[in-house]
Copies of this chain bind each other. A is one copy, B any other.
Amino acid sequence: MAYELHYWPCIQGRGEFVRLALEEAGADYRDITREDGIDDMMAGLDAPPRPAFAPPYLRDGDLVVGQTAAILHYLGPRLGLVGESEADRIWTHQIQLTIADAVAEAHDSHHPIASSLTYADQTREAARRSADFRDERIPKFLGWLERVLAANPFGPRHLVGNRLSYADLSLFQLVEGLAYAFPQATERALAATPKVVALHRLVAARPRIAAYLASDRRLAFSEDGIFRRYPELDG
């Protein structure tokens, strides 16, 4: 049976980390809201016995899994996108959770006060938060990923071991998002992280990923998503 991904239909958002894994694996999946609208997703959100707090969530037969990192932890072994050992799996998951923290901070760079308000309602606070995100946090997160690559005993080609994992795909998406939202700050940070740049390129060149990125299944970044380009926040 096909996996069902339930996520907002018009943005990449957190759902994109799941889409990339499904696409790389050539998995049979349905992106439910893009086919049928959001009614099913909204109804499923609060459905017993295991209501998800927020999209995205994945339905696999009777099982429903929410939280992006948990979805990838669940899919990893099924899609061949994580190592076999418990040590490799928990390390891959730890990297994913750290990327998830970076994504949450990228969101809060333009929404530091409340998700329920618009950007226009919090531009002054966003300018302050973005200055810190841009100057401190982007280099810190990318610098950590660089150190993870440098420390990999199998070499810096992948984050974990000698194979592609969902964490590599997520690094790609994090770099894509940061480069969209903060092009100048991200370019500066990437100048110090050549191994991150190389892995981003390697993922982009994977045949299924390249085909996906060129397809209409890949949504564009926009100012409705998590990574938003407000030029006044970059610099």
Contact = CB atoms under 8 A, between A and B. Distances in A.
A21 B72 CA distance: 25
A53 B98 contact: yes
A97 B125 contact: no
A215 interface: no
Interface of A: 46, 48-53, 63, 65-67, 69-70, 73-74, 87, 90-91, 93-94, 97-98, 101, 104, 108, 112-114, 116-117, 122, 125, 128-129, 132, 136, 141, 144, 147-148, 150-153
A151 B113 CA distance: 32
B148 A51 contact: yes
Listed from nearest, the 6 A-B pairs whose CB atoms lie closest are A48-B151, A114-B132, A67-B97, A53-B98, A67-B94, A70-B94
Nearest to A140: B53
A87 B93 CA distance: 17
